[in-house]
Amino acid sequence: MTYSIGLAGKGGTGKTTIAGLLIKYLTEKGKTPVLAVDADANANLNEVLGLEVEETLGDAREEMKKGVSSGITKDVFMEMKLQEAVVESSGFDLIVMGRPEGAGCYCAANTLLTQYLEKLIDNYSYVVMDNEAGMEHISRLTTNDIDLLLVVSDPTRRGIQAAARIVELTHSLGLNIGRRHLIINQSRTGQSEALTQAVQEYGLDLIGMVPEDQELRDFDLKGKPTAEL
């Protein structure tokens, strides 16, 4: 049975870095195979993992909307493009959802994407999905339950407020999520008490704080994959 973990948070919180470190942890602990899904419109999970991406599911959707070649059915075409979009690595694979939909109707393409994504996910022990704050890809393209949602915030009151809004959004979208937890990233010495108080005010379930790390910043500045830490 596949265990699915979603990460969400506003831009700049470091959620993609957290996603990359989580994928690294699962892989090193032998919890393989892991499927990493980049469902953020500003896709850069591949950079954190040190992988090159040539094809996204958004590309496949656009191609299908334009029409497929004669002699091939739409479902065969979509399955082929999905396989092409999977980037394989040691212990984990990556798939990138790609840019949001353009103008026009994408219902047929989205339906096929959902079907084949679910087939793909069944082949993995864990799925780690890096989402944008609006959770658009989860709400539109997947019907699988989410076992654990980690909402990442920076160490500010506004960040915690934004995290609370994301949690509220998941309820309003009717997503079937097992557990919702908050992670405060880039926390600094002496902030714990004030942050904990803010978390309690917004009724969030804090699972942990990740301290600010200069080595992580140096890796980012040098363009090194975080997964190499």
Q: Where are the domains of the chain?
A: 3-228
**CB contact burial 40-59 (16+ within 10 A = b; e otherwise):** beebebbbbbebebebbbbb
- CATH 3.40.50.300 for the 3-228 domain, yes or no: yes
Q: What is the pTM of this model?
A: 0.88
The answer to whether the CB of 35 falls within 8 A of the CB of 5 is no
pLDDT value of residue 225: 83
| Crossing angle between the packed helical segments 74-85 and 57-66, to the nearest 10 degrees | 150
The answer to whether the CB of 97 falls within 8 A of the CB of 137 is yes
Residues, the chain, total? 229
d(CA 168, CA 159): 14
Coil vs helix vs strand at 102: coil
* Whether residue 105 has pLDDT greater than 60: no
pLDDT value of residue 197: 92
Calculate mean pLDDT across residues 34-44: 87
User: To the nearest whole number, what is the mean pLDDT of the chain?
Assistant: 86
Calculate mean pLDDT across residues 27-32: 97
**CB contact burial 185-201 (16+ within 10 A = b; e otherwise):** bbbeeebeeebeebbee
pLDDT value of residue 150: 96
For the stretch 60-100, pLDDT in tens is: 878 877 777 778 888 888 888 888 999 999 999 999 988 76
* Whether residue 143 has pLDDT greater than 50: no
